[in-house]
Structure 1
Amino acid sequence: MTLKATKFTPEVLLTAPRRSPGSPSPDGRKALYMVSTYSFETHKKTAQIRVLDIASGQSTVLVEDLNASEPTWLSDDEFLYLKSCDKGATALVVDSVSKPVAALHEVATINSGISNIKVAKLKDGRFALACSGLATPDGRPANPETEKKPYSSAKIYTSLFVRHWDTWLTENRNVIWYGALEKRDAKYSLVGNSLFNALGGTELSSPVAPFGGSGDFDISSSGLVFVAKDPTINPACYTKTDLYYVPLKTFTETDPPAPKVVETPGLEGYSQSPVFSHDGRRVAFTRMRSKQYESDKPRLLLLPDVDDLGNVYEFWQTDDGEGGWDTRPEAIVWSADDSTLFLTAEANGRTLVWKTHSDPAKAKDTPEVVKTVEGSVTDLRLLGKSSSKLFVTSSSLIDNSCYSVTDASKDTFSVVSSNSKQGKTFGLSRSSCDEIWFKGAGEYRVHALVVRPSNFDKNKKYPLCFLIHGGPQGAWQDGWSTRWNPAIFAEQGYVVVAPNPTGSTGYGMALQDGITGDWGGRPYNDLVACFEYVEENLHYVDTQRAVALGASYGGYMINWIQGHPLGRKFKALVCHDGVFSTLNQWSTEELFFPIHDFEGTIYDNREAYEKWDPARHVNEWATPQLIIHSELDYRLPITEGLSPFNILQAKGIPSKLVMFPDENHWVLKPENSLVWHREVLAWINKYSGVEAEDGAREGVALPVRD
Structure 2
Amino acid sequence: MTLTATKFTPEVLLSAPRRSPAVPNAKGTKALFTATTYSFETHRKTSQIRMLDIQSGQSTLLVDDLSASEPTWIGDDEFLYLKTGDKGNTTVLVDKTARPGSQAYEVTTIKARISNIKIKELPNGTVAFVCSASTTPDGQLSNPVTAKKPYSSAKVYTSLFVRHWDEWLGEDKNSLWYTALEKKNGRFTLAGRSLVNALAGSKLESPVPPFGGTGDFDISSTGLVFVAKDPELNPAIYTKTDLYYVPLKNFIEEQPPSPKIVETPGLEGYTNSPVFSHCGCKVAFTRMKSKQYESDKPRLMLLPDISDLSKTEEFFATDDGEGAWDYRPEGILWSADDKSLYVTAEKNARVRLWEVPSNPADAKDTPTIVKTADGSVNDVRLLAEADSSSKLLVSTTSLVDNSCYSIVDPSSNTTDIISSNSKQGKTFGLSRSCIGDITFKGAGDYDVHALVVRPSNFDEKKKYPLCFLIHGGPQGAWQDGWSNRWNPAVFAEQGYVVVSPNPTGSTGYGMALQNGIKGQWGGRPYEDLVKAFEHIEKNMPYVDTDKAVALGASYGGYMINWIQGHPLGRKFKALVCHDGVFSTLNQWGSEELFFPIHDFEGTIYDNRAGYEKWDPAQHVNEWATPQLIIHSELDYRLPITEGLAPFNILQSKGIPSKLVMFPDENHEMTFKKLSSEHQPVLPRHHHLLFLLTPGSSHSGLKEP
Query: Structure 1 length normalisation: TM-score?
Result: 0.96
Equivalent residue, structure 2, for 1:302: 302
| Contact kept? 2:549, 2:572, Cα under 8 Å | yes
1:677 alignment counterpart: 689
Q: SS at the partner of 2:116?
A: strand
Once the 2 structures are TM-superposed, how far is the Cα of residue 362 of structure 1 from its aligned partner?
Answer: 1.2
Task: Quote the offset at 1:621 in angstroms.
Answer: 0.2
In 2, distance between residues paired with 1:209 and 1:160?
Answer: 16
Match of 2:642 in 1: 640
Return the offset for 1:352: 0.5
Distance 1:174 1:674 in 2: 30
* Equivalent of residue 588 in structure 2, options 572, 586, 603: 586
Counterpart secondary structure, 1:292 = coil
Shift of 1:274: 0.2
Q: Where does residue 540 of structure 1 map in the other structure? A: 542
Give secondary structure in 2 for the equivalent of 1:192.
coil
Aligned match of 1:402: 404
Tell me: higher relative CO, structure 1 or 2? Use CA pairs within 8 A at least 6 residues apart. 1
Q: Report the CA distance between 1:101 and its aligned residue.
A: 1.8
Work out the CA distance in 2 between the residues paired with 1:102 and 1:236: 50
Aligned to 1:694: none
Deviation by residue 1:577-635 (Cα, 9 ceiling, x = unmatched): 00000000001010000000000000100000000000000000000000000011100
Contact 2:95–2:104 (CA under 8 A) maintained in structure 1 = yes
User: 1:361 aligns to what SS in structure 2?
Assistant: helix
The 8 Å contact of residues 166 and 664 in structure 1, kept in 2 or not, is answered as yes
- Shift, 1:103, TM fit: 2.3
SS at match of 2:658: strand
Q: Hey, what does 1:259 align to over in structure 2? A: 259
Correspondence for 2:555: 553
- Mapping for residues 36-47 of structure 1, pairs under 5 Å: 36-47=36-47
2 CA distance for matches of 1:629 and 1:20?
A: 29
Letter in 2 for 1:362: D
Displacement after TM superposition at 1:249 (Å): 0.1
CA contact (8 A) 1:503 1:512 kept: yes
Alignment deviations for residues 453-479 of structure 1 (CA, whole Å, 9 cap, x no partner): 001111100011000000000000000
What is the CA-CA distance between 1:192 and the residue it aligns to?
Answer: 2.9
Task: Map Cα deviations across residues 480-518 of structure 1 (whole Å, 9 max, x no partner).
Answer: 011100000000000000000000000000000000000
Which of these residues, 418, 421, 430, is aligned with residue 420 of structure 2?
Answer: 418
**Identity across matched positions, percent:** 71
Determine the C-alpha separation between the residues in 1 that align with 2:701 and 2:249.
66
Question: Which 4+ residue blocks in structure 1 deviate beyond 6 angstroms?
Answer: 683-686
Larger displacement relative to structure 2 (515-524 or 93-102): 93-102
- The answer for the alignment partner of 2:462 in structure 1 is 460
Shift of 1:682: 5.1
| Mapped pair 1:165 → 2:177 | no
SS at 2:362 equivalent: coil
Shift of 1:686: 7.1
Alpha-carbon distance in 1 for matches of 2:255, 2:468 = 57
* Aligned residue identity for 2:638: L
Deviation at 1:365, TM superposition (A): 1.1
Aligned match of 2:572: 570
> What is the CA distance between 1:160 and its match in structure 2?
2.3
CA offsets per residue over residues 372-419 of structure 1, 9 Å max, x none?
A: 000001111111033431111110000000011100010000101000
Is contact 1:34-1:50 (8 Å) kept?
yes
**Deviation readout 1:544-592 (Å, 9 max, x if unpaired):** 0010000000000000000000000000000000000000000101000
Note the C-alpha offset of 1:667. Answer: 2.5
| Matched residue type, 2:44 | K
Q: Relative to structure 1, is the Cα distance of residues 640 and 316 closer, same or farther in structure 2, using a 3 angstrom cutoff?
A: same
Runs of 5+ consecutive residues of structure 2 not aligned to the other structure = 672-679
* Equivalent in the alignment of 1:184: 184
- 3-state SS in 2 of match to 1:379: strand
Aligned counterpart, 2:152: 152
Structure 1 pair 314–121 and aligned structure 2 pair: CA distance change class (3 A): same
Which residue matches 1:386?
387
Instruction: Determine the structure 2 residue equivalent to 1:603.
Output: 605
Please give the secondary structure, in 2, of the residue aligned with 1:497.
Answer: strand
Give the AA of the match of 2:437. Answer: E
Could you list the runs of 5+ residues in structure 1 that have no partner in the other structure? 691-706
Contact 2:491 2:689 in 1 (8 A): no
Letter of the 1:221 counterpart: S
Which 10-residue stretch deviates more, 465-474 or 143-152?
Answer: 143-152
Matched-pair contact (CA < 8 Å) for 1:548–1:572: yes
Q: Distance in 2 between matches of 1:191 and 1:66?
A: 29
Counterpart residue type for residue 172 of structure 1: D
Tell me how far apart the structure 2 counterparts of residues 192 and 359 of structure 1 sit (CA, whole Å). 38
Q: Alpha-carbon deviations, 1:82-118, whole Å to 9, x = none? A: 1111211111110111121232101000011111100
Deviates more, 1:183-192 or 1:552-561: 183-192
* Alpha-carbon distance in structure 2 between the residues aligned to 1:665 and 1:682: 25
2:656 equivalent among 649, 654, 657: 654
In structure 1, the partner of 2:703 is: 689
Aligned match of 2:442 = 440
* Structure 1 partner of 2:668: 666
Rate the CA distance shift 1:180–1:673 in 2: closer, same or farther, 3 A.
same
| Offset of residue 688 of structure 1 | 6.4
**2:498 alignment counterpart:** 496
Q: For 1:250-283, what per-residue CA distance to the aligned partner results, in whole angstroms no more than 9, with x for missing partners?
A: 1000000000000000000001000000000000
